[in-house]
Every structure is written in C-alpha cells, then in structure tokens.
C-alpha cells in the first residue's frame, strides 16, 4: 500500500495534475503518478486509477484493447469482486514510503513493462 495518511477515498488531497496524451488535464494520486505517465508514454490508455490511500488495494484501469499488453507485461489483475471475469483493473507497481521515496512492489524492474 501507499503512504497516504488521513486521505479519504474519493479525496483529492494527495493528487497532482498531469496532462493526458489527449491533452486533457487529470488529477492523479502522487503515489502512482510516475507509473501512470510511463504507461501513457508507451500507449496504454487508462480509464481511471487510485493508489488505494492506504485503505484498500490500488488499481489502474485500462481499456479492453490494452488488457493483454498489461498482462503480458507482468501486471497483476486486481479482480473485481462483483464480476470475477472483469480483468480491466491492474494493481499498481509503485508506492511512496514514509520517507517520501518511490518504492516498487515485488516486481523486478520498477513498473517497466517487459515482454521477455
């Protein structure tokens, strides 16, 4: 989980504003902002994301066409408890620790997608 403290689900206290590939501005949780920018840079189209605010597991939602790319790249599916067949959400690889440093979950190479 991330290092959010006293951030409520749906709150915007931990966000930064990023420019999406289509030019729109979007509020993204600081904990996963670098990861989201990287995914955009390689053409992954996101539908939403949240770091989880240290309350629940975070997610990165992607469009249907990008699901297989995320899976082949080693991202783990964040299953939808309502529809177990839904594979559109993936668990973020990055989080910010208590020292403000970006750390990475058990993935080998940060959040870089590897097809080897």
Task: Indicate the pLDDT class of residue 115, thresholds 50, 70 and 90.
Answer: very low
Residues 18-53: pLDDT tens digits? 999 999 999 999 888 989 998 999 999 999 998 887
Q: CA-CA distance, 57 to 115, in Å (whole number)?
A: 25
Give me the DSSP letters along 42-56. TT--EEEEE--TTTS
For the chain, what percent of residues have pLDDT higher than 70? 72
Q: CA-CA distance, 14 to 4, in Å (whole number)?
A: 7
| DSSP at 8 | P
Q: CA-CA distance, 68 to 76, in Å (whole number)?
A: 11
Please give the sequence-ordered ranges of beta strands (E in DSSP) within 30-87, or none if there are none.
Answer: 46-50, 59-62
């Amino acid at each position: 989980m991330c290092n959010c403290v006293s951030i409520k689900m749906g709150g915007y206290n931990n966000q930064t504003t990023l420019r999406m590939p289509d030019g729109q501005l979007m509020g993204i949780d600081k904990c996963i902002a670098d990861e989201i920018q990287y995914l955009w840079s390689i053409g992954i189209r996101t539908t939403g994301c949240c770091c989880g605010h240290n309350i629940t597991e975070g997610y990165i939602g992607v469009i249907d066409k990008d699901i297989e790319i995320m899976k082949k790249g080693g991202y783990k599916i964040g299953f939808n408890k309502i529809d177990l067949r839904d594979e559109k959400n993936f668990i973020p690889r990055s989080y910010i620790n208590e020292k403000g440093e970006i750390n990475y979950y058990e993935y080998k190479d940060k959040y870089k997608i590897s097809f080897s």
